DNA sequence: CGAGGGTCGTTGATATATCCACGACCCACT
DNA sequence: AGTGGGTCGTGGATATATCAACGACCCTCG
């Protein structure tokens, strides 16, 4: 028979719920602040991911992998962004199934104008509140957890 | 003129993105596992919140505050859950605008059957991977950040 | 070559979240 | 009692996420 459930202790529960709540609130805040610039938080992370690349473009599935999104989500998201002129799709020459997603001039302008305030908020409401040690511990936690995640 | 943006350092960026990714993946996993029981993650946290209360009921706005949800979201969510018979609404006798949300027998049964596996997953994929110190640091981070959050 | 199994990305249906305007009510004040 | 400003929760419109099925393509192997 199955072993009796080990419920979370009060400390464990507090940490887990606190984490959930913090993330949710931070995202909400960042989304609200980005709204002024005409970008959603999702738009932002896609553009940021593209910006990180030397040639400012990526395959859909790479984007999905980096962001941890399913292919369907990234596909819908990119289509919407393409409609709005933030990104463009270019057929991949070596694989006729695939596309490269590149930033348009408009996309570049959008993230360039949104980034300073966005980063300032991430600093003010998160990064700058943490000590160097807390930052290290956090990094160790996330990499450990991510490494142990079961495949979907 | 505005000061030049202090971009995130590599460590800061890694911690921030790692946190985002971890949370997203964990939620996706928990949602997938709960799906077998007929509950969504959102259903689960609402029922869990109600379970935590001595009389298993709460006002809508209390629920929203605890979970960090906006009133509209909690209202829609609870309506759906009421449709499915997981919770019931009872007029609040002291405030005619408000409702108490209570768990039905069906709601109680649903969370009772879902909880063991859910908690086991939270342990296996998160809590049990952390040392006691990491847990403490995490708690300190989240409470600090939450305390500093600007009002919406 | 060509058949089968895998991957790439799309699509449409459904579920959920967000935004905003609203009606009902409460309360403090006059 | 009446008025005004606030809170409680609702509802509809729109945006976004999830799920499963699909067509197109790639690749390996016989």
- Cβ distance B18 to A143 less than 8 Å, yes or no, reads yes
Instruction: Reply yes or no on whether the pLDDT at B151 is more than 80.
Output: no
B123, B129, B133 member nearest A145 (Cβ): B129
pLDDT at A3: 73
What residue of B is the nearest CA neighbor of A128? B12
What's the token pair of residue A146? 């991510």
Mean pLDDT (chain B, rounded): 96
CA neighbours within 13 Å on the CB side: how many for A81?
A: 30
What's the token pair of residue B2? 């505005």
Question: To 10 degrees, what angle do helices B60-67 and B41-51 make?
Answer: 110
Smallest CA–C1' distance to C19, residue: B72
* Termini Cα distance of chain A: 27
What's the token pair of residue A145? 């957890």
> CA-based angle A86:A35:A106, to the nearest 5?
20
pLDDT at A152: 67
Confirm whether any atom of chain D, the nucleic acid strand, is less than 7 Å from CB of B102: no
> For the segment A10-26, what is each residue's pLDDT rounded down to a tens digit?
999 999 999 999 999 99
Which residues of B fall within a CB distance of 8 Å from A68?
21, 24-25, 28
Instruction: Mark residue B151 as left, alpha or beta (left: phi above 0; alpha: psi -120 to 50; beta: remaining).
Output: beta
> For the segment A89-117, what is each residue's pLDDT rounded down to a tens digit?
999 999 999 999 999 999 999 999 999 99
Confirm whether any atom of chain D, the nucleic acid strand, is less than 7 Å from CB of A66: no
The CA distance from B21 to B41, in Å, is 17
The CA distance from B69 to B134, in Å, is 27
CA of A12 to C1' of C15 (A): 31
For tokens 């969510």, the residue is B77
pLDDT at A4: 86
Instruction: Mark residue A49 as left, alpha or beta (left: phi above 0; alpha: psi -120 to 50; beta: remaining).
Output: alpha
CB within 8 A of A131, min separation 6: which ones? none
User: What's the predicted TM-score (pTM) here?
Assistant: 0.94
Mutate to test the interface with A, among B138, B144, B147, B148 (most CBs of A within 10 A): B138
């Amino acid at each position: 028979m199955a072993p009796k459930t080990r419920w979370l202790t009060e400390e464990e529960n507090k940490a887990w719920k606190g984490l959930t709540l913090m993330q949710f609130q931070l995202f909400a805040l960042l989304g609200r602040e980005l709204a002024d610039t005409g970008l959603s938080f999702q738009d932002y992370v896609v553009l940021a991911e593209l910006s990180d690349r030397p040639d400012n473009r990526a395959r859909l599935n790479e984007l999905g992998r980096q962001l941890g999104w399913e292919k369907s989500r990234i596909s819908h998201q990119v289509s919407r962004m393409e409609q709005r002129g933030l990104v463009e799709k270019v057929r991949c020459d070596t694989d006729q199934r695939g596309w490269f997603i590149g930033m348009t001039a408009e996309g570049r302008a959008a993230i360039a104008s949104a980034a300073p305030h966005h980063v300032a908020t991430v600093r003010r409401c998160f990064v700058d509140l943490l000590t160097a040690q807390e930052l290290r511990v956090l990094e160790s936690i996330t990499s450990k957890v991510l490494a142990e995640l079961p495949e979907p």
